[in-house]
Amino acid sequence: MIDIHSHIMSGIDDGARSLEESLLLLKKMSAIGISHIVATPHYIVGSHYILNNQQKLEKLEKMRNLVKQENIPLYLYLGNEIFMDPSILALIKKNEIAPINGSRYILIELPVSRPMNEMMEFLFYFRSKDFVPIIAHPERYVYLQENHELIEKFLKMGCLFQGNFSNILEKYGAHAKKLFLYMLKNNQYHFLATDIHHEDDILFKKMKKVKKEIIKLTSKEKFQELTYDNPLKVLKNENIEIKYGEN
């Protein structure tokens, strides 16, 4: 699997707390079948969790060296989970914010309970600049749980959706799980990812069950598309055709 959403980089957000925890996370991720990981530390404009791309790449290089030393079969890449803000595009140009592996794909986090008035406008603007927003864990947003038509609007605009595996385990509550199942059934996801923060995450013990259940709800081919084929296209900056409404 290729994981496009993770908090494996230490000392930058609420993810891994030390390089030791990063290493443990990487070992455990490799053990559950992940071969490529994009480190996507939170980028929230105005917060103290901020490093520029050069600083993040230096941290990534340290992790790559560790992986090599420890013989863990993993490839590591850089990205950010970017909280929606009008200044994102300028910050990408200034090398403060990292699109996934330098591609046109950007992982976007939206406010959980209230859509911003300007949200659609921003997303539309990104699309006009040829960036492709990947909306992280849409199942957690209350306004999408309550209004499925809004999901279609995002798709028609050219946004892609990334779901979190752990919804199967109801990690984010019953409403999030319900929307996760709805979006899976309606073929509205393009990626599934771990959004892993810590080495004691329940996903490490339950990944087999999670995979089995998702395949039961969709198909082996769909699982492969969501966890490998589409993520690989992102890493290679290739086009992803948006299909939805059929399974």
Neighbours of 185 (CB within 10 A): 11
Residue pair 78/24 in contact by the 8 Å Cβ criterion: no
- Applying CB under 5 A, does 81 fall inside the site for Fe ion? yes
Q: CB-wise, 164 or 188, nearer to Fe ion? A: 164
Q: CB-wise, 171 or 244, nearer to Fe ion? A: 171
Q: Which stretch binds Fe ion (CB under 5 A): 79-87, 165-173, 205-213, 228-236?
A: 79-87
Within residues 189-218, the interface with Fe ion by CB under 5 A covers 195
Neighbours of 151 (CB within 10 A): 22
- Residue 120 burial by CB count (10 A; 0-12/13-18/19+): exposed, middle or buried? middle
- Applying CB under 5 A, does 139 fall inside the site for Fe ion? no
Q: Which residues neighbour 124 within 8 Å (Cβ) at sequence distance 6 or greater?
A: 157
Tokens coding 247: 């399974």
CB of 137 to Fe ion, least distance (A): 7
* Phi, psi for residue 241 in degrees, rounded to 5: -75, 130
Distance from the Cα of residue 78 to its chain's centroid: 12
CB of 33 to Fe ion, least distance (A): 20
Tokens coding 118: 């300007």
* In the complex, residue closest to Fe ion by CB: 195
Q: CB-wise, 74 or 79, nearer to Fe ion? A: 79
- Applying CB under 5 A, does 3 fall inside the site for Fe ion? no
CB of 170 to Fe ion, least distance (A): 18
Q: How many residues bind Fe ion (CB under 5 A)?
A: 2
* x/- letters, 153..192, toward Fe ion (CB under 5 A): ----------------------------------------
Q: CB-wise, 68 or 196, nearer to Fe ion? A: 196
Q: Which residues neighbour 44 within 8 Å (Cβ) at sequence distance 6 or greater?
A: 50, 83, 85
Binding site for Fe ion (CB under 5 A): 81, 195
